[in-house]
Amino acid sequence: MRDYYTIKLNAPAGIISPGALQQVLTLAYAAHVRTVRFGARQQLLMTVHYEDMRDLEKALKRHAIRYEVNTDQFPNIISSYCGEEVFRTGAWLQESEYHTVLDGFDHQPRLKVNLSDSNQSFTPFFTGNLNFIASPEPHFWYLYIRPKQQNTLFRWPDLVYTQDIGRLSNVIEEVMLRDTGMTEEQLYRDVMQERRFITQPALHEVELPDFSLPYYEGFNRYGQRSWLGLYRRDEQFPVSFLLDVCALCLQTRIGELCITPWKSLIIKGIEGKDRAAWSYVLGKHNINVRHAANELAWQTEDHDEAGAAIKQYIIRQFARDDTRTFGLCFGIQTRPKSEVFGSVLIRRRPLIRIGQLALFSVYDLYHTDNFNPNNRKYIRFEKGLLRIHLPGQIDRLCRKYNARRMQQTAEPLRLTTEEPVVADVPLVSVHQCPACFTVYDPQFGDVLRGIAPGIAFADLPVSYACPTCDTPKTAMEAVELTNG
């Protein structure tokens, strides 16, 4: 029987430099590791055969790389940094603020720490033990505490200053782990007696946005650059592919890679001139970057083959039945007291257990209050389901969600039928990209490419390309569209 070990390497806030990742992957490849995963807490995970374990550990220690084997004593700090700029830009919470917070941690947290922008819904707010959420007041954060192995939250009485987050986390952790039974008031008193911090009174609860998961895969423009989201259906990323990614990042001066809580990777800051090189790397390794949106909205536990199999089974049924899942995300829990993020939660439990042996499993179906995955209250929808019945019951739950959304709409949409008016509609000659169907209309020009209105297509420079996908001018096709 072959024995394997799981190695975990933390990437604080989900940020890792291409050079650091390249070094780790090079050592892993030498230890015969051919695929790696990213975890739900934005960490790097790999499975290593016991015969290669000793050499890999020696190499990691020689390069002073921190790691854990088969444990999670030091959970990774997670953050919403991966979505910064590409999904939204905070009023004051930007790249420098995240790095300032990380610089304040001079210890490895033993509690789970979350850092979140309050105006995003890409990363979870309350899956940590210490949940820091940016407040409207610049450089100050809300803190919500969830004791270990509990589902209760309480708000810290004060807003916390950016540069104090690391120090405060250390003191809170020491006090909480020293005395697990203290009240909220005792915890606050003991912590504030030990150290002085810059604070402001937290007069209100945090206002969280409605959940809407952005499509986080493929090439996407933001400003004058692009970002690339990488997702793998089986969660396995080939080491050879990631090594090429790191090499290209270093070659094109991309300084950071971002791991997401959805076990995917986001690469920001891709220049237009480098798009062809990225397409080459994707093609070389046969990496697909356009999966269905409802497939991306799932979380399973780390290294959970059973959860992944359930996910794929339900997704296939969704495709067959054309189930509408917009606005929802799904979590699968196969182990007790594990943490997954979802507005709909599938929990597996043994129906019959003899000692430690589970002979038969059924599934309970839950949804969060108001279907917001950041809500900690779960409402049971069905219990004791067989696997074959899961897709149908989830479809029912999706319909319930859609019906609730319609009821919450203040004014129902009234459709009226009018007789069509037949009129002569003039045609306008434009040029269209055959790849993404973007149109160049001389009436409007091209703001992204700096082309003023009134410039005919024939007068565009030879170097002109589609502003969306960079298809060259010579490949764009003349078409006639109605102007009206």
- Give pLDDT tens digits for 91-103: 799 889 999 999 9
In this structure, the answer to whether residues 151 and 255 fall within a common structural domain is no
Cα–Cα distance, 277 to 419 (Å, whole number): 53
Task: Tell me what pLDDT residue 1 has.
Answer: 41
In this structure, the answer to whether residues 365 and 262 fall within a common structural domain is no
If one counts every other C-beta atom within 10 angstroms of the C-beta of residue 351, the result is 11
- Give the residue from 231, 258, 288 where a domain finishes: 288
In this structure, the answer to whether residues 311 and 328 fall within a common structural domain is yes
**Residue 344 domain-assigned?**
yes
Cα–Cα distance, 17 to 201 (Å, whole number): 37
- Give the residue from 138, 167, 201 where a domain finishes: 201
Q: Which domain CATH number covers 458?
A: 2.20.28.10
DSSP single-letter state for residue 192: H
- CA 280 to chain centroid, in Å, comes to 25
DSSP single-letter state for residue 414: P
In this structure, the answer to whether residues 169 and 133 fall within a common structural domain is yes
Domain count, the chain: 4
Burial class (CB in 10 A: 0-12, 13-18, 19+), 88: middle
Q: For the chain, which ranges sit under pLDDT 50?
A: 1, 484
Q: Are residues 114 and 127 in contact, defined by beta-carbon separation less than 8 angstroms?
A: yes
**Residue 6 domain-assigned?**
no
Partner residues linked to 357 by β-bridges: 354
Burial class (CB in 10 A: 0-12, 13-18, 19+), 452: exposed
Task: Tell me what pLDDT residue 356 has.
Answer: 73
**Residue 477 domain-assigned?**
yes
- Give the residue from 169, 201, 233 where a domain finishes: 201
**Residue 196 domain-assigned?**
yes
In this structure, the answer to whether residues 165 and 127 fall within a common structural domain is yes
pTM: 0.83
In this structure, the answer to whether residues 227 and 197 fall within a common structural domain is no
In this structure, the answer to whether residues 139 and 240 fall within a common structural domain is no
Structural domain of 277: 219-288
* CB-based contacts of 338, cutoff 8 Å, min separation 6: 301
3-class SS at 141? strand
**Residue 440 domain-assigned?**
yes
- CA 384 to chain centroid, in Å, comes to 30
In this structure, the answer to whether residues 275 and 307 fall within a common structural domain is no
